[in-house]
């Protein structure tokens, strides 16, 4: 009887692991920098098809940087989010549209009250196709006079360093933080007006 239960339990675990593997192997990752990652994280977490978003650092030269090293502006890194998404529900092109539609890409090394290279606008790509999608969107926005200039860097993705735990889901955990109330919440609410059709 015990042997049968063990076999049954093993089969259930294997089945669950197989289901998890099938779900995760279809997911893809995208990387964006557009100011404080507390704001950007919440924006992408609100989208249908996005499974997970982590805040971190990328685009620089220092290995395993800390938050205080990054905000010093001496690591070359920007505050970046890693977006894990299901391409069958939301595609990279839509993620790029959200990127340009949820921040001001005309301000060099600045986003709202946050100033410094760590807050610069960057769209990273993992393939030539993704690079083309980003550059085509920039051309479209300029052609249609949505922006008169765009300072966004278009860079190949190299390495993502996940930020300290207290930065993850910061807006959810700290709704009464003055920065969240005065900066993040208004930015996110404005974004949701224009992208309500793809929100969870």
39-98: per-residue pLDDT in tens? Answer: 999 999 999 999 999 999 999 999 999 999 999 999 999 999 999 999 999 999 999 999
CA distance 19 to 13: 10
Task: Identify whether the C-beta of residue 58 lies closer than 8 Å to the C-beta of residue 76.
Answer: no
**Which residues belong to the active site?**
36
Residues in the chain, pLDDT under 70: 1-24
Query: And the tokens for 20?
Result: 């998890």
- Give the pLDDT of residue 24: 60
Quick check: helix, strand or coil at residue 71? coil
Domains, the chain: 27-198 (3.30.1060.10)
Average pLDDT over the chain, rounded to an integer? 91
- Give the pLDDT of residue 18: 41
């Amino acid at each position: 009887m015990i042997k049968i239960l063990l076999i049954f339990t093993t089969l259930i675990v294997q089945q669950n692991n197989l289901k998890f593997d099938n779900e995760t192997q279809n997911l893809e990752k995208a990387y964006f920098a557009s100011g404080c990652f507390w704001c950007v994280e919440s924006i992408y977490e609100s989208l249908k098809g996005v499974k997970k978003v982590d805040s971190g650092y990328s685009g620089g030269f220092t290995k395993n940087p800390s938050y205080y090293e990054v905000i010093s502006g001496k690591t070359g890194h920007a505050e970046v989010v890693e977006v894990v998404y299901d391409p069958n529900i939301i595609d990279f092109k839509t993620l790029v549209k959200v990127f340009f539609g949820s921040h001001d890409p005309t301000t060099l090394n600045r986003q709202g009250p946050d100033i410094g290279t760590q807050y610069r606008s960057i769209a990273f790509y993992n393939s030539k196709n993704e690079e083309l999608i980003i550059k085509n969107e920039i051309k479209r926005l300029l052609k249609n006079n949505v922006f008169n200039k765009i300072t966004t860097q278009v860079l190949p993705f190299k390495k993502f360093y996940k930020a300290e735990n207290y930065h993850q889901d910061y807006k959810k955990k700290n709704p009464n933080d003055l920065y969240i109330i005065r900066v993040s919440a208004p930015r996110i609410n404005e974004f949701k007006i224009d992208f309500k059709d793809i929100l969870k």
